[in-house]
Amino acid sequence: MTTIVPAAGSTAPIPAGPARVDIDLPAIAHNTEILAAKAPDAEVMAVVKADGYGHGAPAVARTALEAGATSLGVTTLAEAVALRQVGISAPILAWLYSAGDDVSGVIGAGIDIAVPSPEHLDAVVAGARKSGMRARVTPKLDTGLGRSGIMPLHWERTFDRLVAAEREGIIEVTGLMAHFANADAPGDPVIDSQVTALHEAVEQARSMGLECPRNHHSNSAGTLTRGSDGFEIVRPGIALYGLSPIEGEDFGLRPAMTFSAEVLMVKDVNEGQGISYGHSWIAPRDTVVALVAAGYADGVWRLLSNNFDVQLRGGRYAQVGRVCMDQFVVELGPRTASGAVPGGIRAGDRAVMFGDPARGAPHAGDWADKLGTIHYEVVCAARGRAARYVHTTSLQGEE
């Protein structure tokens, strides 16, 4: 995403990119508190992978930690180290890397590392020896997800090796982790079987001599519907950002991201005028349209062409014609009897593509439904020239 830097030697302002995401940090704090209250007996590990689901990992991490989270979860080793480098000192766990990676530098940076296969344990043992530091590791067990994680057949052998590595002083096991397959479908029997499997694994590891003080399983869906399931940490991601993983229930979460772009011009078109490439929409009447400066290069899917609304000055207007790389068109409707543009829309206004429904904006989930995907993918989509603005005061109550 764009960072605006003035040209060297010039004090003249450079217009910011017309597409932007605005991040409501108080909403992140509010959502963190909701999650913590759902699992009062557990600590919250805030998942800020993928640049905080597109919201900006450092600001989200700091906000969640201030609001009660005690650690952070990310995917890659580089994401973890980047958070250390901006001065975040809380525990950070990273869970996806190659068993061929040299992890000594990451151990040296004080990052907790998941161990999702026996081969990964080889890498961590080698990295710990090389770094001369004790590696903090979290075996990641496959309790039924069928993705990353150590299969049950290898648990006992892995625990044995970890006991030996703890004795040698090169490894400290912080706890076990697993990940749900179907937590967004409460009542699915796989959920209970995974919970039971992790509890049994913790018991087994402890009986073999691993203390495993902090174990975790619950993503957002698990945390919101079942709390911690008796484990010591919950590990939510999407709900921190105000989006509910459970169909039809919002749990009082507040969406933290608003994606908008500027209206660059407003103009009259005659009945019969085709709009944008391919003329996929033909004006059915004399009407007024607005040109909005965001396109698929900025995260507005071309697949949404002729199929979404934007919020402009409190009203909703239909997008018409094909979404292009850099821009799209919205129909404002015929001029009023007095000749005014509907809604008083003019160049410079901001068209909100999705944001907080409490402020009248479309929801990221609306796009997800139309696209046949999930809102997770929608909030990760803003990119290209979109600039991110992070707000420490609530956006609710503005306007």
Ligand X SMILES: *Cc1c(COP(=O)(O)O)cnc(C)c1O
* Structural contact between residues 141 and 150, judged by C-beta atoms closer than 8 angstroms: yes
- The structure tokens 């160049």 sit at 347
Closest distance between ligand X and the C-beta of residue 175, in Å?
Answer: 14
Provide the mask over 207-226, with x wherever binding to ligand X is found by CB under 6 A and - wherever it is not: ------------xx------
Is 325 known to sit in a ligand binding site?
yes
95: contact with ligand X by CB under 6 A? yes
343: contact with ligand X by CB under 6 A? no
Q: How many Å apart are CA 106 and CA 96, to the nearest integer? A: 13
Q: How many Å apart are CA 48 and CA 45, to the nearest integer? A: 9
Q: How many Å apart are CA 330 and CA 318, to the nearest integer? A: 6
350: contact with ligand X by CB under 6 A? no
CB count within 10 Å of CB 114 equals 22
Is 45 known to sit in a ligand binding site?
no
231: contact with ligand X by CB under 6 A? no
* Structural contact between residues 321 and 328, judged by C-beta atoms closer than 8 angstroms: yes
The catalytic residue positions are 49, 277
Specify the amino acid at residue 366.
D
Among 20, 38, 120, 179, binds ligand X (CB under 6 A): 179
In this chain, which stretch among 20-28, 36-44, 237-245, 249-257 interacts with ligand X, using CB under 6 A? 237-245
In this chain, which stretch among 153-161, 233-241, 271-279, 356-364 interacts with ligand X, using CB under 6 A? 233-241
116: contact with ligand X by CB under 6 A? no
Longest CA–CA separation in the chain, Å: 84
CB count within 10 Å of CB 13 equals 8
Q: Read off the tokens for 285.
A: 């009447």
With DSSP H G I counted as helix, E B as strand and the rest as coil, what are the percentages for the chain, rounded to 5? 35, 20, 45
235: contact with ligand X by CB under 6 A? yes
In this chain, which stretch among 13-21, 185-193, 232-240, 289-297 interacts with ligand X, using CB under 6 A? 232-240
Size of the site for ligand X (CB under 6 A): 11
Task: Indicate the residue among 244 and 319 with the shorter CB distance to ligand X.
Answer: 244
299: contact with ligand X by CB under 6 A? no
* Structural contact between residues 384 and 298, judged by C-beta atoms closer than 8 angstroms: yes
174: contact with ligand X by CB under 6 A? no
CB-based closest residue to ligand X = 237
243: contact with ligand X by CB under 6 A? no
Q: How many Å apart are CA 390 and CA 342, to the nearest integer? A: 31
236: contact with ligand X by CB under 6 A? yes
CB count within 10 Å of CB 391 equals 16
Q: Read off the tokens for 280.
A: 């996929």
Task: Indicate the residue among 236 and 384 with the shorter CB distance to ligand X.
Answer: 236
Closest distance between ligand X and the C-beta of residue 47, in Å?
Answer: 4
47: contact with ligand X by CB under 6 A? yes
User: How are beta strands 19-24 and 257-269 bridged, if at all?
Assistant: antiparallel
Contact residues for ligand X (CB under 6 A)? 47, 49, 95, 179, 219-220, 235-238, 245
Binding-site annotation: residue ranges for substrate: 147, 325
